[in-house]
Amino acid sequence: MYDTGKTLNIAVIGAGAIGRTHIDTLARMPTMRLSAIVDPAAPGQALAESLGVPCLPDVAALIRTGLADAAIVATPNETHLPVSEALLRAGLPVLLEKPVAESLASALKLIEVVEETGVALLVGHHRRHNPIIRAAHEAIHSGAIGDLVMATVTCALAKPDPYFEAAWRRTPGAGGPLLINLVHEIDLLRHFFGEIATVQAIAANARRGFAVEDTAAVCLTFENGGLATLCISDAASGPWAWDLTSGENPARFPAHKVSAHQYAGVAGGLSLPDLTLWRHPGTPDWTVEMQPEPLTVTPGDPYEAQLAHFADLIREGGAPRVSARDATANLIVLDAIRQAAETGRTVDVNLAPLTARETIAA
């Protein structure tokens, strides 16, 4: 355990877009500070120089210097396992950006390393730390909309051409909106409604022509009942996406006043991120006007809340809000979606690699 009064020295590994978001967030955390950047590329070195912190070429150099109490890993997906394993075996807690790994085999290996070392690893599904999501989770689990009947999730992201100059964003197993973006939606649906039973999917790459998809349509069934449809594209123009409506990252994305998620249950509906509950005044009846009820929530920065939770894990231990095991379930669902898109068949979600231990979605 760490001295609760000590400022924690945090290294950020990978100075790309999400790495910079973490760096900016660290500057707002009163008991945490950026102690080093690990990035061999010139932009990372320039950023480190502008911030007055060391820039190191690799994780081995970071471990040798002893500059960090913990690290944030914001590197390409295929590096998540080797980078995180080196840090964990050196006794350094890790906040690992999603997805947990590029493959199920790598994710399962990382779970083994976490359990073997006993060092904290938090996976960066930052939305779980958003007060909107926490209020929605409470409303859903208190029965405000009753049992889920259907959910509709839209994610239209018009990513400009320079975004794809990074080769990994065009590489199967690392890039594509299913792995980069849809993993967030899968994580939230599991968080709200429990485990996913089956998937169907159609994917296309016609708009960009890369080896990875640019657009996909997905249908899910849940073990507890209910269906969900998800449409996602990184080539479609429209404001209907969590990133473009939630205001989570105002430095990068505008916040449009529309909803991107709609959940309909037997007793009512809930839209997000506007956090509006819709219910009939009596027995549900499509001929009777429903009444909107905006749920109250105290706004908060989910990236700051995530770092505060990470600091608690470093200082006090405990269970991470999103563990490697939980995040691996998301990866299994994504693998099933890719298989369904490739085969045109309904695919069962097989969580058997994880069911030897405790239930993962809480």
Rounded (10°) CA dihedral 256, 257, 261, 263? 180
- Give me the number of domains the chain comprises: 2
Do both 114 and 158 map to the same domain? Answer: no
Long-range Cβ contact pairs of 164-173 (< 8 A, separation 24 or more): 164/208, 164/210, 166/16, 166/76, 168/76, 168/77, 168/78, 170/210, 170/211, 170/212, 171/211, 171/212, 172/211, 172/212, 173/77, 173/78, 173/102, 173/103
As a whole number, mean pLDDT of residues 117-146 equals 97
Do both 33 and 134 map to the same domain? Answer: no
Q: Rounded to two decimals, what is the model's pTM?
A: 0.92
Q: Which residue has the higher pLDDT, 315 or 173?
A: 315
Contact between 261 and 230 (Cβ < 8 Å): no
Do both 84 and 133 map to the same domain? Answer: no
pLDDT for 129: 97
Proportion of the chain above pLDDT 70, given as a percent: 97
Q: Which tens digit of pLDDT belongs to each residue from 219-246?
A: 999 999 999 999 999 999 999 999 999 9
ω into 99 cis (within 30 of 0): yes
Q: Which tens digit of pLDDT belongs to each residue from 56-69?
A: 999 999 999 999 99
Do both 192 and 339 map to the same domain? Answer: yes
As a whole number, mean pLDDT of residues 334-357 equals 91
**CATH code for the domain in which residue 32 is found:** 3.40.50.720
Q: For residue 228, what are the β-bridge partners?
A: 151, 220
Do both 105 and 134 map to the same domain? Answer: no
Q: Which domain holds residue 50?
A: 8-125+303-322
Do both 120 and 149 map to the same domain? Answer: no
